[in-house]
Amino acid sequence: MLGWDTFAVIVGGVGGALVGLLFVAISIHAARLGSSASLRDRAAQTLVVFATLLLLAVVLAVPSQPDRVIGAELIVLAAGAATLLILLDRSAAAGAADNSLGQILKRVNPNVTTAVGIALTGALLLAGVHWAPYTLLPTTCVAIIGGLTSAYLLLTKLSE
């Protein structure tokens, strides 16, 4: 994916900053998160989304990889992220009844969009579609906005 190295740097930098923001939110409200398995799992889903962005940046930053190799790597990344996100969602649902914040986090966290968007890009790259990388733009924007929203809610709404 010639020319996508700047995109990788931006996504990696944003992903790293957002992981830091999430850890600040979690550390400020550690006691409250520790007492709610559901909220803990919802916070972990946000962490998986941000970690997926970081790993996406790593995959894109590796020089001289053929597009088909990147496509295969993206499919593996999406499958791993989807598996973790599904397991965390089931665990959150199996925990005590979701409070209102847990329900909001479930709705705003871009779990499906992130995993499906990355998998779609990988499949299109494997198929040799020349515009495939451009599907990463809406995927990463939704992941960043949804993840930021989740981190903000964890930071501010747990105080109430």
Task: Convert the pLDDT of each residue in 16-30 to its tens digit.
Answer: 999 998 888 888 888
Average pLDDT, stretch 40-56? 93
Q: How many domains does the chain have?
A: 1
Kindly report, residue by residue over 121-145, the tens digit of the pLDDT: 999 999 999 999 999 999 999 999 9
Cα distance between residue 21 and residue 31, in whole Å: 17
**Where does the pLDDT of residue 109 fall: very low under 50, low under 70, confident under 90, or very high at 90 and above?**
confident
What is the Cα–Cα distance from 57 to 59, expressed in whole angstroms? 5
**pLDDT number for residue 128:** 96
Q: What percent of the chain has pLDDT over 90?
A: 57
Q: Does 159 have pLDDT greater than 80? A: no
The CA-atom distances, in angstroms, between 1 and each of 105, 109, 136, 137, 139 are: 34, 28, 12, 14, 17
Question: Residue 91's domain spans which residues?
Answer: 5-159
Q: What is the DSSP string of 50-95?
A: HHHHHHHHHHHHSTT--HHHHHHHHHHHHHHHHHHHHHHHHHHHHS
